[in-house]
Chains A and B, each alone.
Chain A
Amino acid sequence: MTTLTAPTPRVRLARFRDLTLVPVILLLLVVGAFLDPTFLTTGNLTNVLQQQAAISLVVLAEAMILISGKFDLSLESTVGMAPAIAVMLVVPASAGGFGLGLPGMLVIPLCLLVGAAIGAFNGFLIIKFQLSAFIVTLAMLIIVHGLQLGPTEGKTLFQLPDSILYLGSAIWLGLPASIWIAAVLFAAGIAGLAYFRVGRSLYAIGGNADAARAAGIRVDRVLWGVFILGGMLAALAGILETGRLGAIGSNQGVGWIFMVFAAAVIGGVSMDGGKGTILGALTGVLVIGLVQNLLTLKGVSGFWQPVVYGAIILVALMISRIAGGKAQD
């Protein structure tokens, strides 16, 4: 099940480093099967994948940004704001929109455009203006969320065009469409970062930007592209989440960034840049999804869930440290 959303890479010893969480996933599957008979059913595991599809795209975006040595906290706000603004541009004023009367089929392109614009603006401030990525995107996290709260006046958008609901709720070939979308994008990410020049250059830039520049890589252009792509992936995550939930609440995406970083880091992506793989980040998302699912199935008390949950992330981190053999940074 764990390889469902990613093609198995060719077996090479160096590659095993990305798979240090695989034992953790296997352990979770075995323990889960004993704890609850529902856990290891196709239906339940499909649900887990569907529930994690949206956040996994943000993890994919964050992993690429981290690998290239930068940081983006604002992705979580884009998850809520991009679809909200796109929907408001399309729906009539009576449904909480701006009343511009744009056709409903434009909502997805508009949403991706908003995401790209946020990414481009982040990129401008960080690359051209040379500001600290951490603080810039922290400020953007606040601003972007505010840009959702302001126009919507904090209200939930209930009346949505069908086109934005489709991707998050459709079933393709027996599996939710969101799983297919995440699978394809992860496959592209894994292949892109492993075998293509642009993808490889992210590692070079994350490892040493000056050396990369000296080697002839267009560092600024690549980084800017990564931020724009990140914003678009976050917007797409917002579309999938909107389809799954059937409405855009004012706190959609809020608080995700902690889970995103947890998933990326336990999956072996370094916060300092230059290290980690997309496949590793994917295993990180799966671990988090399986743990959440188990906690719900077992009905762990709401007062104690955060403790259990945090502890399991720590344990996963330790296991990946031991299995990976190398010191984490």
Chain B
Amino acid sequence: MSEITLQDIIKPENLVYKKTSLMTNKALSYCPGCGHGTTHRLIMEVIEELGKENETIGVAPVGCSVLAYEFMNVDMQEAAHGRAPALATAIKRLWPGKVVFTYQGDGDLAAIGTAETIHACNRGEKIVMVFINNGIYGMTGGQMAPTTLPGMKTATSPYGRDVATMGNPLKMTELVATLPGTYYVTRQSVQTPAAVRKAKKAIKKAFQNQLDDKPGVSFIEVVSNCNSGWKMEPVQSNIWMEENMFPFYQIGDIKVDGKLVDR
């Protein structure tokens, strides 16, 4: 009896999914179960589908996705903590015909980089900003983020986030939606196939806005899990996210075509 090889099973007619060539073959540095990898893939798939792999410049942050440039197979710059929107501003201003995006986590975008985020949005830079919100600092070992929920335990809020002394979680996405410089603002997630499809549609819309030279930033928040930082199994973390994060960070479009959505 001859051995059945992988090639016998994977035939072109059976192929239903193929990794985009815009993701490198480097093993992801993310924890199994984390939403970063999925979001990376969606962005790269969209750029491939739009045929813009040779005209895209991405800006990576500091945080868990500090090595995003290792996985995204397009020209990339690695920014200092929080400064990605400043880099992207200059890139887009100097190369208005290119596609420019930033990829940042909650500490990067909503804490140390608050000024750069708000001012890039307020100037109406024609860029795509992707914001991963998992309510925690993953890379440095699970400390409190600006988006950590009230009462949530982290390494620097070991008794739970006390809003009286530590402040309330910052809804940066709602905040930037109020600025005239944002054109499309949406909040998505990637924990189920249905959510992934919706998130991809939103990402594609954001990049299409840029290709169409729409006035202003297209801003996508992806509410994600951090199973390691939250100290949960991946599935358990997704359930926790749906039960705790989603009521606070409501999924859906916040601003479409420059107009706030009635929610």
Q: Does A pair with B?
A: no
Chain A residues with CB under 8 Å of chain B are none
Chain B residues with CB under 8 Å of chain A are none
